[in-house]
Amino acid sequence: MPDVAASPIVRMTYRDASRAGIREALLRDPRVFLMGEDVGRYGGAYAVSKGLLAEFGPERIRDTPLSESAFVGAGIGAALGGMRPIVEVMTVNFSLLALDQIVNNAATIRHMSGGQFSVPLVIRMVTGAGRQLAAQHAHSLEGWYAHIPGLRIVAPATLEDVRGMLWTALEDPDPVLIFEHQGLYNMEGDLAANAGPVDIDRAAVRRRGDDVTVVTYGGSLFKSLQAAEMAMAEGISAEVIDLRTLRPLDMETVVASVRRTHRVVVADEGWRSGSLSAEITTRLVEQAFYDLDAPVARVCTEEVPIPYPKHLEDAAVPQPATIRAAIQRVVAAGAR
């Protein structure tokens, strides 16, 4: 593990941190290569891979045809052959064109081979709304993939996680899907120059509190932290948990928090019906029902395709004000 304390601190964006993670992986292991649409000469649809083609060449930074099924399938084959591919899918919406490869092949090969073969494949894709990219480029479908046994699903929200989760994911013998929220790419922060791998097994408590637990991940983390600050001005102490990994869920951390606060809000950018928030709510009912002083509150995206106009997009997805309102409701309900 690098000595982060002795390392200089660098100011960078979430985009820079993601690029740094890819670059470190390429330098560390000659089996690693990046492939996907526009990752080479164009520098990536979100400029994450900008400059990597010039540094590593076309053998390791591979532009692919516009066929998600083809290049995800090629990534599965490369992983089975001993390579460590990083496959970039431009947006989660486009990953639906590779569902057969991801769900029927990558997720099942270990099981169907009786443990003889593993698929050490990492698939990175962009998720979420907030940049006016409309319905075919801005949905949050990570909860769908979290339904599938055989996959690990991670959603880095911080600079440390988007840089360090890739390192850890590449060491996993099974497929890992990394969901990077498009609204975070321009977020700036400080990061140790030699920041290394991070845990992808445990949730993180990003803010301590006593009155209510807010469970969230990805692009909704910072909205939840802002909502917690707003609630603090009203005398409500909110604890904020960043799930980080969506499959397998770290319910131990969530339940431990709820047993202290006795109230919970789940902020999830997915749609409410059949959502990850529904799964978390059900597990809390199963594991901590008698610790709850109020019903679980959920803040989810409105059940419409993501609108293009900015004011409608903002109205459709969870915002700090709507999360704060949910915090207020569960605290008031628990006080009765």
Residues involved in catalysis: 68, 137
Residue 126 backbone phi and psi in degrees, to 5 = -90, 140
The conformation of residue 290, written as its DSSP 8-state character, comes to G
Tokens 């959920």 locate to 298
Rounded to 5°, angle at Cα 158 from 153 and 159: 110
Residue burial 280-306, b: 16+ Cβ < 10 Å; e: rest: bbeebeeebeeebbbebbbbbbeeeeb
Rounded to 5°, angle at Cα 243 from 241 and 244: 125
DSSP for 275-287 reads: -HHHHHHHHHHHH
Strands (E), 117-185: 122-127, 152-154, 176-181
Q: ω before 248 within 30° of 0 (cis)? A: yes
Of 215, 325, 212, residue with least CA distance to 262: 212
Residue 265 backbone phi and psi in degrees, to 5 = -120, 135
